[in-house]
Chain A
């Protein structure tokens, strides 16, 4: 079992809470636990109470949406140094996605109810936690928007291009050969002197 002192050290070392004030860190430790998830286990599931959030210490967590009859759609992967779960802080405190361990995952989990209670009682803690969560949420929103753009996908012109390609294949049989052959012949003649 991890002792509170060790939990405090681990929280302090994790990028998400790095540099947090000692007093506030002690409050966090009171709501924290060390956990591990085997490959395929869920940290949380869509629609369930968002009871916790997690600092990922090691491994990869897939955030995904379950599609009946099909493979789940992975929206993003979260790794070492990241945070999994923010629904614990947003009313009605229900998870909006599934989070599944891809391989062994080690986390520090935080009890949402416990932390919300402390944040309510201590605005300094509330501000500090929100100050760290909001940029992370903004980053995820921005990344999700970029992902939606399908930047590397085929453009609108592709259908036209495919048609042009068929045409070009036919065209190349007739148009490309003769000038190319002429150039090759000219080059050979030049080389031969």
Chain B
């Protein structure tokens, strides 16, 4: 039984089981439904999380889609509601509406090389797809994670990235914009990692998530490398309110990001990237 009822506007109470501090302003919460049941979702989808008395905020699901017993959200405190979320502790409750939106078409990449290009906290919405790729490793060609962060201290899921890099069946490259301390790894933008290649562009599906400018340049670098536009997917972020394509707050050109996205195929939206008014 799915823990979320059919009324898309009705938040369901979830209890915070665990809170982990990832970075100074970023944290991960594990949630379980108060009334029991499971929570099924697809990689790339998001929930509206309701902090009682404060407000709702759309947050991508960042856990393993194969594990329906717990709902995982990684959030960066950048606004009033996310700051209020950050103030909650294990045992507190939040309301959950979802899952909403389109998913990373990871199953469509079976038989292909798959490249995940992430920047900053953009690794969180990609993580469910990465888990899926690892859980079904034999179905893919090369699996590459290319990740860019601001500084070595800002690397999200650091231990997990180290674990993934330790596997013999996937490539993980990390770069930072600014080196600090004893960092001897890559320095430079994440698009530099794309330019280095290591995948077969003609047979690659790429999933890109991060700040919009980073996605624009990331998609451009993939294209330049020879990856077709229709094999590149990006996840957009806009001011979402209802989450179901009714209120219009997240309108982006002819799309509602909450309903038609957040995951879009690049060839369908590439032109919108250059329209400044949007």
Contact = CB atoms under 8 A, between A and B. Distances in A.
A81 B34 CA distance: 55
Interface string A143-180: 10011011111110110011011001101100110011
Nearest to B177: A147
Interface stretch (B75-83, B134-142, B258-266): B75-83
Nearest to A188: B34
A151 B120 contact: yes
Interface residues of A, number: 42
A191 B119 contact: no
A164 B79 contact: yes
A161 to B, nearest CB: 6
Contact of B51 (A150, A157, A176): A176
B273 interface: no
B188 A168 contact: no
B211 A152 contact: yes
Interface stretch (A41-49, A70-78, A105-113): A70-78
A154 B151 CA distance: 12
A190 B36 CA distance: 12
Contact of B52 (A77, A147, A149, A176): A176
B93 A143 contact: no
A151 B119 contact: yes
B64 interface: no
B109 interface: no
Contact of B192 (A143, A149, A151, A153): A143
Contact of B217 (A146, A179, A183): A146
Interface of B: 13, 15, 25, 34-36, 51-54, 77-80, 82-84, 86-88, 92-95, 119-121, 148-150, 154, 175, 177-179, 183-189, 191-192, 195-196, 210-211, 213-214, 217
20 contacts: A74-B183, A143-B191, A146-B191, A146-B214, A147-B177, A150-B150, A152-B149, A165-B83, A168-B51, A168-B83, A168-B86, A169-B87, A171-B84, A175-B53, A176-B93, A180-B92, A183-B34, A183-B52, A184-B15, A190-B35
